[in-house]
Structure 1
Amino acid sequence: MQIVNIGLGVFNLFIGRSFALFTVYAFVKYLESMEVGAINMSSLGFKFKLILGVIFLDCINYWWHRLVHKVSFLWRFHSIHHTDKLLNVSSALRFHFLEVLMGHLFKFPFLFLLGIPVEALLLYDVIFNTNVYFHHSNIRIYKSLDIFLSKIIVTPYIHRIHHSLKWKETNSNFSSFLIIWDKIFGTFFPQGEISTSKYGIPGYTEDKYQHFSYMIKQPFIENK
């Protein structure tokens, strides 16, 4: 594990994530009480609403991830996550606090339209965070098991491709939990085709990109 990544995670918890999660949960709870949004207004059973909510939230995260790679302003912040040269479980914490805030703001219109139950939000947070730690880890599981799991969810091998030094590979495998989004929208890069085991971004190899203070100010002073 890298101390700088843990430091960013703690900083995000107090500066970005706590506030964002509070506002998102409060907003979802309000919509639920007012029966606003497609799912809230439907006559579907609770379990079906829960499943739909988790699926929709995962799809929203997929598109947010694609967006931070596509839009240069957002990439300034997200690139901090990709400058990690030693991919491991602590890499899951390596995000700029403003990216965390913007990611939650991005969800608001969809939460309003869809009316996702607060229980689905809670369940998805547990699933999402568990799988993000899992697929950023540097554990090696049996290849046959990895291949089987990667037909359904994002595995460490699949996500390592996304952290490759090659842009073609970096701009693929955007899914956070269910791999189906990459397969549906044509961004899936399969196992066995990865061209490198090195991680990071070309041009971001200097030591300064691994320092906490520089990562906080990096989006405002660089635009690569």
Structure 2
Amino acid sequence: MATWEVVTPRRVRLLTRLQRWSSNLGLVVLNTVLLRLLFPAAAVGMALSVNAQGWGLLNALAWPFWAEVLLAVVVLDFAIWVQHVLFHAVPALWRLHRVHHADLDYDLTTGARFHPLEIILSMLIKFAVIAALRPPVVAVILFEVILNAMAMFNHANVSLPPGVERPLRWLVVTPDMHRVHHSIEDDETNSNFGFNLSWWDRLLGTYRAQPRAGQQGETIGSRQPG
């Protein structure tokens, strides 16, 4: 993604990579160490434990394995969408999430810029969903790969041909779609909450196709410092 940003950038950067990447990647290191200390086995460990204990909704359903995997990935995706909405709607949570929106530029490192407390709360929410659902372990591994890959993709400062971008956003969140969410305008930042599947915003009325000022004229950031 970093190479793609260099080859075909979508917007001109306001700040140098050194100015932003040092702080953004510093948060990545801090959050990674913190998660490893608090939750050594992370979400996959929780899935192993839940499957061993026989908890969760899927224990009551005699579904084929492939259907369980598909359902689990979709449910976890929706749970992250709901979590994202809550982090915007609840003032105390927004104060944490604002760190993500305080980035004045937009590239793949923005997708990893989060307050440590938000990372911890997000993991606990994920644990709760896994405990309630009892997803197959492989589904949790698959979801974690998708979560991280799509966060890098839809935060990337890359340009997609319109003929590719328009149909693609009917299925997944594209960089142009998610960039609207990072607008300084309140109504725009409270839209396009998805990180992977674009369905939830379309179905639940939070979808916005483009920022009013256009992709090039949109101001990235938060009205209040993170």
Q: Does the CA contact (< 8 Å) of 2:188 and 2:211 recur in 1?
A: no
> Does 1:117 pair with 2:151?
no
1:26 aligns with 2:41: no
Matched, 1:43 2:62: yes
**Alpha-carbon distance in structure 2 between the residues aligned to 1:114 and 1:32:** 10
* Counterpart residue identity of residue 97, structure 1: P
Please report how far the alpha carbon of residue 126 of structure 1 lies from its aligned counterpart in structure 2 after TM superposition: 0.7
Matched, 1:97 2:116: yes
Q: Does the 8 Å CA contact 2:180/2:211 hold for their aligned counterparts?
A: no
Structure 2 partner of 1:220: none
Mapping 1:32-111, distance limit 5 Å? 32-111=51-130
Runs (4+) off by over 3 Å: 17-21, 191-196
1:91-145 per-position Cα deviation (integer Å, ceiling 9, x unaligned): 1111011100001112233222211121111001111111110000001110121
Gap regions ≥5 residues in structure 1: 210-224
Identical columns (%): 32
Correspondence for 2:207: 188
Q: TM-score when scaled to structure 2?
A: 0.85
CA distance in 1, matches of 2:37, 2:97: 19
Deviating more after overlay: 175-184 vs 100-109 = 100-109
Answer yes or no: is 1:149 the counterpart of 2:168. Answer: yes
1:175: how far off?
0.6
The 1:112/1:20 distance shift into structure 2, 3 A limit, reads: same
Q: Is the 8 A contact 1:5 1:94 kept in 2?
A: yes
Q: Deviations over 1:66-86 (max 9, x none)?
A: 010011111111000000001
Q: Is the CA contact (8 Å cut-off) linking 1:37 and 1:115 kept in structure 2?
A: yes
Is 1:161–1:194's contact at 8 Å kept on the other side of the alignment?
no
Q: Which residue number corresponds to residue 223 of structure 2? A: 202
Q: Quote how far apart the aligned CAs of 1:17 are.
A: 5.9
TM-aligned CA distance change 1:30 to 1:179, over 3 Å: same
The number of residues matched between the two structures is 205
Give, in angstroms, the shift of residue 38 of structure 1.
1.3
Question: CA 1:189 to 1:49, structure 2 compared with 1: closer, same or farther past 3 Å?
Answer: same
Q: Distance in 2 between matches of 1:124 and 1:15?
A: 21
For residue 23 of structure 1, report the CA deviation from its aligned partner: 4.2
Question: CA separation in 1, counterparts of 2:73 and 2:90?
Answer: 26
| Aligned-residue CA RMSD (Å) | 1.7
